[in-house]
Amino acid sequence: MTLTAARLLAVLFAILVIASAPVAAVDSRAGGTVVIAEGETVADDLEAVGGTVIVRGTVDGSVNAVGGTVVIAPTGVVRGDLTGAAGAVTVEGRVEGETQVAAGSFVLREGGVLVGDAEVGAGEALIDGTAEGTLSLDAGTVVVGAGATVGGDLLYDADQFTNEGASVAGDVRATQFDFGGVAVEDVQLFAIPSWLSVAYTVLAHLALGGLLLALLPRFVAEVGDVGLTRTARSGGFGLAALVVGPVLLVLVAVTIVGIPLALLGAVVYGVLLWVGLVFGAYLLGTWGVRALDRTDAEYARWYALLGGVLLVGLSRFVPGGGLFRLALTVIGAGAVLLALNARRTGERGEEPVEPEVGSSGDPAA
């Protein structure tokens, strides 16, 4: 296989992996703010991840949302179930299926309707709307307003419970829930088997690494050289970037003018984390290739990427795997920053070795 063919295959492989992303969900959306606009209709299930998730339109299927804030606006309609986790969940519209959410705070406003049974785990739950089925609330504080209506039982497990005179067709009673804050074992957030999630993550890492090797081979070589020869310094730079980055983003975001810059910075920060982990895996694989004295192999760098990413995937199944991946991310991100700085200042020193070496051990043309 020629070098050109190998690069072409890498690009095609990356495109296939990226294109397969929607397979895990019928309609997946992510971003700082995810909005289903008023008048918009999502024909299938919706899986949304964002700082803020707002449904003003109609979702014919179920909604599975994870975000800082999740809002079903007054014009919002969810034909299926509502499941998810967020800092705050507010329902002002209509949810026709079951509701299972975990949140810092949960609010069912006047005019909001939960047609199916609802299980809510929250620090605080405020109920002023209508729950047509059984409403189960596990929260530190529960307040059921005078205008609230519950068509089934009202079950609660709370440190402080206040019923201001709501209309409840069934029983109102304290109970001990076995779902510990919300039916966590029942709320299937993106219900994908762990092995499949790991496999997909490995493919995504390979796709990114393949693109970098195919399109930026010299830069990959520079990062590899920095990461392997200045590992401690790379780790220091990476750790500083990962700690200082969020602080700078908060400082930038305190002004209205700085909010767009902060959002852009958050995206760059997230990309740096991902690229850092992939480069960390590549450095680990390169070290392994060198330890096996296989640096003269024709596709040594590709072997290094594959081996490193597979080890990162396997670390998901062992204790301490998170710290292992964090260390690789820190070192990889630091090596990337040092390599970029060297390019900026023109202090790269000797040219890095070409990323591919021929079977004889000589650099490939």
Sequence-ordered strand ranges (E) for 15-98:
28-36, 41-42, 46-55, 58-59, 63-72, 77-78, 82-91, 94-95
In this structure, the answer to whether residues 106 and 203 fall within a common structural domain is: no
3-state secondary structure of 305: helix
Mean pLDDT of 272-284: 91
In this structure, the answer to whether residues 200 and 169 fall within a common structural domain is: no
In this structure, the answer to whether residues 161 and 203 fall within a common structural domain is: no
Tokens at 46, concatenated? 């919706």
Number of domains comprising the chain: 2
pLDDT value at 123 more than 60: yes
Give 65 or 363, the one with higher predicted confidence.
Answer: 65
- Residue 356 in any domain: the answer is no
- Residue 18 in any domain: the answer is no
Give 183 or 219, the one with higher predicted confidence.
Answer: 219
In this structure, the answer to whether residues 211 and 168 fall within a common structural domain is: no
> Considering the entire predicted model, what is its pTM?
0.47
In this structure, the answer to whether residues 33 and 162 fall within a common structural domain is: yes
CA distance 57 to 75: 6
Mean pLDDT of 334-345: 89
Mean pLDDT of 42-51: 83
- Residue 118 in any domain: the answer is yes
In this structure, the answer to whether residues 56 and 98 fall within a common structural domain is: yes
In this structure, the answer to whether residues 271 and 336 fall within a common structural domain is: yes
Look at residue 85 in the predicted model and tell me its pLDDT: 82
What rounded mean pLDDT belongs to the chain? 80
In this structure, the answer to whether residues 52 and 169 fall within a common structural domain is: yes
- Residue 297 in any domain: the answer is yes
Mean pLDDT of 154-182: 83
- Residue 1 in any domain: the answer is no
Phi-psi region of 318 (alpha: psi -120 to 50; beta: other; left: phi over 0): beta
In this structure, the answer to whether residues 200 and 146 fall within a common structural domain is: no
In this structure, the answer to whether residues 154 and 253 fall within a common structural domain is: no
In this structure, the answer to whether residues 30 and 169 fall within a common structural domain is: yes
- Which of 333, 233, 229, 323 shows the shortest CA–CA distance to 277? 333
- Residue 2 in any domain: the answer is no
Which of 104-118, 171-185, 284-298 ranks highest by mean pLDDT? 104-118
Return the ∠ at Cα 23 (arms to 190 and 302), rounded to 5°.
100
Look at residue 56 in the predicted model and tell me its pLDDT: 96
- Residue 88 in any domain: the answer is yes
pLDDT tens track for 280-321: 999 998 888 888 877 666 678 888 899 999 999 888 888 878
Instruction: Give residue for tokens 């069912």.
Output: 108
Residue % of the chain over a pLDDT of 90: 40
In this structure, the answer to whether residues 65 and 142 fall within a common structural domain is: yes
Q: Give 204-240 as a DSSP string.
A: HHHHHHHHHHHH-HHHHHHHHHHHHHSHHHHHHHHHH
Look at residue 256 in the predicted model and tell me its pLDDT: 58
**Of 110-114, 142-146, 271-275, the least confident:** 271-275
How do beta strands 113-114 and 99-108 pair? Answer: unpaired
Residue 136: domain span: 26-174
- Confidence bin at 350 (pLDDT 50/70/90): very low
- Residue 33 in any domain: the answer is yes
pLDDT value at 355 more than 50: no
- Confidence bin at 1 (pLDDT 50/70/90): very low
**Of 83-92, 123-132, 187-196, 266-275, the least confident:** 187-196
Q: Give 96-131 as a DSSP string.
A: -S-EEEEEEEEEE-TT-EE-S-EEEEEEEEEE-SEE
- Confidence bin at 10 (pLDDT 50/70/90): very low
Q: Contact, 327 vs 211, CB < 8 A?
A: no
